[in-house]
Amino acid sequence: MITLKGKNIYLRALEPEDLEFVHAVENDESIWEVSNTQTPFSKFIIKQYLENAHKDIYEVKQLRLVISNYNDAPLGMIDIFDFDFKNSRAGIGILIKDTDARGKGYGSEALKLLVSYCFTHLGLHQLYCNISEENEVSIKLFKNEGFKQVGLKKDWNYVNNSYKNEYLFQLINN
């Protein structure tokens, strides 16, 4: 059942059929910096992850959804992580996998849908994201959705033999 529908995309739960797509995303070294990944993932490990993806967000403190077009092609993924029910907050991460699908508004639409879901259905008070100082596309995406830069973490991530700064953005539901 599709519950998070937009004009051009919808967000859906992970399915066993997503094994190849998730494997490709998790093993794409060009995006490891964004996801803080250090090593490749086997299909066996991803299959186990998919088998447990149905678990409740209140139990596992995270939720990963596939960003899909209406031809049912997966375009990317969007995550809720560090779900903190007591303090009514969570982190958000987003990735559009293929470069040819970027810049077409899919990420913006997915982020709007997820922010609405977090505030309306999960009753969260605030969301946050961590973005590399060099990731201008993501900075623009989150700013356009109303996220405010609230901090700069100096030398936060060690990437390709150098330290990089990371911004902390926050969106509070008033």
- Give tens-digit pLDDT for 9-30: 999 999 999 988 888 888 777 7
Spatial contact of 131 and 149, defined as CB atoms under 8 Å apart: no
Domain 4-128 has CATH 3.40.50.620: no
What confidence score (pLDDT) does residue 1 get?
A: 39
High-pLDDT (> 70) share of the chain, %: 94
State the average pLDDT for the chain: 90
What confidence score (pLDDT) does residue 2 get?
A: 40
Does 151 have pLDDT greater than 80?
yes
Does 114 have pLDDT greater than 80?
yes
Does 167 have pLDDT greater than 60?
yes
Give, in degrees to the nearest 5, the angle at Cα 61 between 60 and 66: 90
What confidence score (pLDDT) does residue 130 get?
A: 96
**Cα-Cα end-to-end distance for the chain:** 30
Spatial contact of 132 and 169, defined as CB atoms under 8 Å apart: no
Sequence-distant (6+) residues with CB within 8 A of 139 are 131, 149, 167, 169
Residue 82: closest CA among 46, 35, 129:
129
Half-sphere exposure of 111 (CA within 13 A, CB side): 24
pTM of this prediction exceeds 0.85: yes
Tell me the two tokens of residue 56: 């409740």
The residues spanned by each domain of the chain are 4-128
